[in-house]
C-alpha cells in the first residue's frame, strides 16, 4: 500500500503541493494527470525523497515515516520501497542493456553475478528485449531504452514502481511499445503510480485516476467515472484538449 497524508511542498514562496492525500492499494495502478506545472513530478519525487516534503506522512509497504521528523535510516528504508522510471531513461551509457539491469542486483543486493544475470535476462524477456542484452544504450531506440529502464526498475523487486511521463520523450511511433510493456507489468499485479498524458492508456490501465491542478487534487475516481463523467469544470476543460 501507498498512503500519503497532508503532503506539502514549497519552493521558496511557491506552494507546489498544497496538502495532498491519497492511497494506492497493493497491486493497484494509480494514474496522475494534470497540466504542466501542476506538481505531478514533485509529488512522485517526494515519495522517495528526491525532494524533501515540508510536511507529510508517507507509508509505502512496511515503512511509514513523518517527513518533519524522520531519520536517515527511515529515508533509506522508504527509498528501497520504490523504483522510478524517468522520462529520459537515465541508463548508464557505458553499460550494456543487461548490465544496466543487473548493476543494482550486484552492487546493492550483492547477488552473485551469474544469478543476477539469470534474473536480468528474465526481466529483459518481460520487456521483450532478450536479444538486446549486449547492446549499449546508444544502439537502442528510445522505446527500447525505456524498456530497459523499466526492467532495471523491476530488478530490486520494489514494493511499487513510480513512472514520471515514461513516454513523453519518445517519437510517437515508439510510444505504443512502451505503454504495452507497462500494461503487461500492471497485469502482473505490480503496484504503480504513473504520471502520464496518455489518456486512453490511463483509462485502460488504472484502477484510480487523480487530476491535479495548482498543487491540489481537483478530482479523483475510478477511470470509468472520471473520464466519462468528470465533475469539475477544470477537469472537463483539461480533458477536452485530449479529445
Ligand atoms: N527544484 C525546484 N525549484 C524551484 N521550483 C521548482 C522545482 N521543481 C519544480 N518547481 C516548480 O514547481 C512547480 C511544479 O513543477 P512540477 O512538479 O515539475 O510539475 P509537473 O510535473 O506537473 O509539470 C512548477 O512551477 C515548477 O517550476
Ligand atoms: Mg513533470
Fold entry, domain 1-81+160-243:
Rossmann fold (3.40.50)
- Distance (Å, rounded) from C-alpha 116 to C-alpha 124? 12
Domain(s) of CATH 3.40.50.300: residues in the chain: 1-81+160-243
Q: Is 40 in the pocket of ligand 1 (CB under 6 A)?
A: yes
Question: ∠ CA 45-145-242 to the nearest 5 degrees?
Answer: 65
Q: Residue 172, exposed/middle/buried by CB under 10 A (0-12, 13-18, 19+)? A: exposed
Determine the distance separating the centroid of ligand 1 and the alpha carbon of 10, expressed in angstroms: 9
Determine the distance separating the centroid of ligand 1 and the alpha carbon of 42, expressed in angstroms: 6
Residue 227 three-state SS: helix
Determine the distance separating the centroid of ligand 2 and the alpha carbon of 208, expressed in angstroms: 19
* Mean pLDDT by groups of 10 residues along the chain of 243 residues: 98 97 98 98 97 98 97 97 95 98 96 98 98 98 98 97 97 97 96 97 98 97 97 96 82
Ligand number with the minimum distance to the CA of 86: 2
- Distance (Å, rounded) from C-alpha 72 to C-alpha 140? 37
Encode 198-215: b = buried (16+ Cβ within 10 Å), e = exposed: bbebbeebbbbbbbbbeb
Tell me what pLDDT residue 242 has.
Answer: 85
Question: What is the secondary structure of 108-156 as a DSSP string?
Answer: TS---HHHHHHHHHHHHHHTT-GGGTT--GGGS-HHHHHHHHHHHHHHT
Let me know: does 160 contact 192? Beta carbons within 8 Å.
yes
Half-sphere exposure of 114 (CA within 13 A, CB side): 0
Tell me what pLDDT residue 80 has.
Answer: 96
Tell me what pLDDT residue 148 has.
Answer: 98
In sequence order, what are the residues at sequence separation of 6 or more whose Cβ sits closer than 8 angstroms to the Cβ of residue 149?
85, 86, 89, 90, 91, 100
Amino acid at each position: 500500500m501507498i498512503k500519503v497524508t497532508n503532503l506539502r511542498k514549497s519552493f521558496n514562496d511557491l506552494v507546489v503541493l498544497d496538502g495532498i492525500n491519497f492511497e494506492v492499494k497493493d497491486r493497484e495502478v494509480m494514474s496522475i494527470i494534470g497540466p504542466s506545472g501542476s506538481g505531478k513530478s514533485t509529488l512522485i519525487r517526494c515519495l522517495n525523497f528526491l525532494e524533501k516534503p515540508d510536511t507529510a506522512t508517507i507509508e509505502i509497504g512496511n515503512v511509514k515515516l513523518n517527513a518533519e521528523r524522520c531519520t536517515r535510516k527511515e529515508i533509506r528504508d522508504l527509498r528501497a520501497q520504490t523504483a522510478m522510471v524517468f522520462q529520459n531513461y537515465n541508463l548508464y551509457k557505458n553499460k550494456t542493456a543487461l548490465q544496466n539491469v543487473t548493476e543494482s542486483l550486484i552492487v546493492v543486493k550483492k547477488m552473485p553475478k551469474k544469478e543476477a544475470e539469470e534474473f536480468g535476462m528474465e526481466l529483459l524477456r518481460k520487456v521483450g528485449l532478450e536479444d538486446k542484452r549486449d547492446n549499449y544504450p546508444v544502439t537502442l531506440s528510445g522505446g527500447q531504452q525505456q524498456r530497459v529502464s523499466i526492467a532495471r526498475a523491476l530488478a530490486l523487486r520494489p514494493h511499487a514502481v513510480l513512472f514520471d511521463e515514461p513516454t513523453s520523450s519518445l517519437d510517437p511511433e515508439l510510444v505504443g511499445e512502451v505503454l504495452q510493456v507497462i500494461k503487461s507489468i500492471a497485469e502482473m499485479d505490480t503496484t504503480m503510480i504513473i504520471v502520464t498524458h496518455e489518456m486512453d492508456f490511463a483509462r485502460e490501465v488504472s484502477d484510480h485516476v487523480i487530476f491535479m491542478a495548482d498543487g491540489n487534487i481537483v478530482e479523483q475516481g475510478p477511470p470509468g467515472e472520471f473520464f466519462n463523467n468528470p465533475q469539475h469544470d477544470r477537469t472537463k476543460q483539461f480533458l477536452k484538449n485530449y479529445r
